[in-house]
Amino acid sequence: MKHTNRLRRGVSMRRGGFKSCTGWRKGRIGSRDGSQSRSPLVSFHHLAPSCAVWRRFRRVQLDPRMSKVQVLAPRDFSLLQRPDSPLDDLPDACNDPIFPGLPPLYHGHPDLHLRNGVLAAHSSAHPDAEQAFFVADLSQVYAQHLRWRACLPEVHPFYAVKCNPDPYVLRLLAALGTGFDCASNGEISQVLSIGNVHPDRIIFANPCKAVSFVRNAANMRVDTMTFDNSDELYKIARAHPRARLVLRILTDDSKALCQLGIKFGAPLAAVPALLAKARELALDVVGISFHVGSGNYDPTVYTDAVRRARAVFDMGADAGYTFSLLDVGGGFEDALFEQAAVYLKDAIDMYFPDRSQIKIIAEPGRFYVSKAFSLATNIIARRAPLDPPLGDPPPTAEQPAVMYYINDGVYGAFNCILFDHQVVQPFVLSMGGSFHVAPDEPLHTSSVWGPTCDSIDCVCPTAQLPRALRVGDWLGFHNMGAYTVCAASQFNGFQVSNVVYTTGNFKPSELRSVLANFAADIENVDV
């Protein structure tokens, strides 16, 4: 902490600017010519982790409303920091990487790192300097986990890896004790490769698997897996006879954005025959699972789903099974989570009043990661529509006046628009070299497009954006953590956007301790 103490001795803050104190070299505050005029607000942006020494901070001079941006020359780099800065612990944290081989884990609010990336792009001569990038705020994942435990303390989360298999997200959730919902060999291998994750923390929640996948699960000692048809039972009997089977049943998912019932789930009428077949094959069925659909906006559906599960528990008893697992699936929407939790708990209390011998799990995905990732994109082209042909009516105010082209699209991070039925809304990250957009900035109806040659690559058909936006400005998108980077492709030769990681603003020291302790446990196990 000696660096921080020196900074505190060297610089103090006062309203309206800085004043120089002992230890600060004359001529480095206010202007490059050495004058000591009162300076406007100065923002400090951390651009690189330290290794053996604390790396320098880029000093960026802004006016009080964060308009005019001036990136100072390399000679103006300094170890300057505000006394109340959340980066106080940065030297110690960055000197010792938590997980070798993973990207750096920074401190600070995600907006800080979005702006860092913009500043770095403006100052870089690299051909791909303006490449789109994510900022992942791991504190949002941590906060969502605490929220889950507060609202559903009896329901153990098994994170849906398919939603976002980010290495930091997986390690944080492993450290927090969650299980993992995997759907393929690749996902199982990725989770087990973390270290210190026992195979019994994985449910192979894919009801229709290749025989080789079942055999591989057996080799990896992943025993808990789902099924919903008799052919799957024959495969499992041959390839993994000691498996602990979970029967996935069909529920009402008509209120969901992604209705999974058209592909998976056994109707109640088929359950007795399936249980009889499992009994005939000497397979162990241990429980029931259901899924109300991904992105379900009707929390009342859990009442009917749990009622159906109770009926199947009773059918299991008639078939000679004693079920011990209830998997309530995923589809939890962030905005309705508390309501859904109330309906789910009430339904469990009603239909499973005695659950002392039953483990209840769920498969949340988007709930954990959607808010944790933001995306910064650069406007690479701007196109005003051509005038309408003679005789055609003029465009209305609702029709886009300008088309903006950004450097990520539906073949990349925005594949969630096609596959996950998401609607995204841009915000101005920087415009004209400024991070500030005046409230009275004139707007016009615009459309936002991706970089590929395909006309399907439309990110926003309509959006209200400032008239002053030009090529080189940046648009940001929040809530980009679910079903985005995991399905991004390199179609047309465009690269998948990189990720910058931060511990964010919510209990960052506690979060870092959780990760550090888990990393130490992994090292001890390996030894």
Residues linked to residue 158 through DSSP beta bridges, in sequence order: 179
The closest alpha carbon to 153, from 170, 177, 188, 185, belongs to: 177
The closest alpha carbon to 361, from 129, 156, 195, belongs to: 156
Q: Distances in Å between the alpha carbon of 310 and those of 49, 303, 344, 362?
A: 53, 11, 13, 16
Quickly tell me which residue has 């400024």 as its tokens. Answer: 434
The closest alpha carbon to 139, from 513, 523, 444, belongs to: 513
Quickly tell me which residue has 């109707």 as its tokens. Answer: 267
Rounded-to-integer distance, Cα 194 and Cα 171, Å = 7
Polymer length in residues for the chain: 527
Tokens of residue 384, six digits? 């005003």
Quickly tell me which residue has 């954005």 as its tokens. Answer: 257
Sequence-ordered list of residues with C-beta below 8 angstroms from that of 262, at least 6 positions apart, any chain: none
Sequence-ordered list of residues with C-beta below 8 angstroms from that of 127, at least 6 positions apart, any chain: none
SS3 string, 172-222, reads HHHHCCCEEEECCHHHHHHHHCCCCCCHHHEEECCCCCCHHHHHHHHHCCC
Q: State the DSSP string of 316-336.
A: HHHTT----EEE------STT
Q: Which residues are catalytic?
A: 453
